[in-house]
Chain A
Amino acid sequence: MHEPTPATPRANGVELAAVLAAGIGAAALGIFVLLHEAGSYSAPALYAPSGGLSGRTTGAVAVWLVAWVVLATRWRGRELGPTRILAWTLGLTAFALLATFPPLWALL
């Protein structure tokens, strides 16, 4: 039988690092896609059968993981405002969704 755990405030920096890093990774993917569609830069195909998609997504995952490690290291033990981090994350995600929305590529 598990006893209820009293909810006590504690540092949330590591958790919010994961949250913001996801937004940064998403935005990185959006940037890779926009650069590709604009003809400025195409990430190399890391797995030929999947074409450039493998390079764009691997690049975005690399940015995501690096951002996560850096933020988690810097924010460890800190208490941050969740609402502000959430707003940034949703903003970055909105950018990523727009950047990966094909009808908008015609504007480039």
Chain B
Amino acid sequence: MLFSTPSVLTMIHGIVLSGGALLALAAALFAVRAMALPDGAPVSQAQGTSFARVTSLAAILLWFAVLGGTYLVFPLYRAAPPEGLTALAAFPRALLMSDPETRWLHAFAMEIKEHMPWIAAMLATAVAVVAHRRRATLLADGPMRRVASALLATTFVIVSFVAILGVFVNKVAPLE
């Protein structure tokens, strides 16, 4: 088989879900600024609904990425090798920890990847709730729009940082 199941899971987690969430977050960040209206101006239903949908998409993709990462990919990553095994390619964490030069990829990169995405998912959910409940007014409501914009920017930075770390880990110790 060209791609193993763990490899496919990693690609779905990293590219489809996390990559898709990053795209949706970028689109939402652009939209919240490009479609901003003066306070109190009428908001077209199409714009309000589109913005609500793209924020929901970002939150949904992030939650699937986070849950899939924690409960499907992470167990494969942290599996312990049998005693005495020296060929560690199938055991990414053990492989990273076996070399002082790559140990930081677990102790720093992977530790961050375990926790920070959950923070991003909660923030993205808050933005989606705000965008949905206030879709008729948000784009013409400066203070609430700034809340959405700040949370979107924070979420985007967290997900981008985590994604880069994921690339580093997968480059050195891929799930195969």
Contacts and interface: CB of A to CB of B under 8 A. Distances in A.
A83 interface: yes
B119 A26 contact: yes
A57 B75 CA distance: 15
Contacts, number: 124
**Interface on chain A toward B: helix, strand, loop, or mixed SS?**
helix
B78 A97 contact: no
A2 B45 contact: yes
A39 to B, nearest CB: 16
B147 A85 contact: yes
Contacts of B123: 22, 26, 93
25 contacts: A2-B46, A6-B42, A7-B43, A7-B137, A7-B140, A14-B133, A15-B130, A15-B133, A16-B147, A18-B125, A18-B129, A18-B130, A22-B126, A49-B79, A50-B70, A54-B70, A54-B71, A57-B118, A64-B122, A82-B147, A90-B154, A93-B154, A96-B119, A100-B115, A102-B112
Contacts of A60: 118
B150 to A, nearest CB: 6
Ordered nearest first, which 7 A-B pairs have the shortest CB separation?
A49-B75, A4-B42, A2-B45, A22-B126, A100-B115, A7-B140, A18-B129
Interface string A28-49: 0100010000000000000101
B146 interface: yes
Given A96-B119, A100-B116, 4 more contacts: A5-B43, A12-B144, A16-B147, A90-B150
A102 B17 CA distance: 25
Contacts of B114: 53
Given A82-B147, A93-B123, A100 B112 contact: yes
A5 B144 contact: no
Contacts of A50: 70-71, 74-75, 78
Nearest to A53: B114
A50 B39 CA distance: 47
A28 B140 CA distance: 33
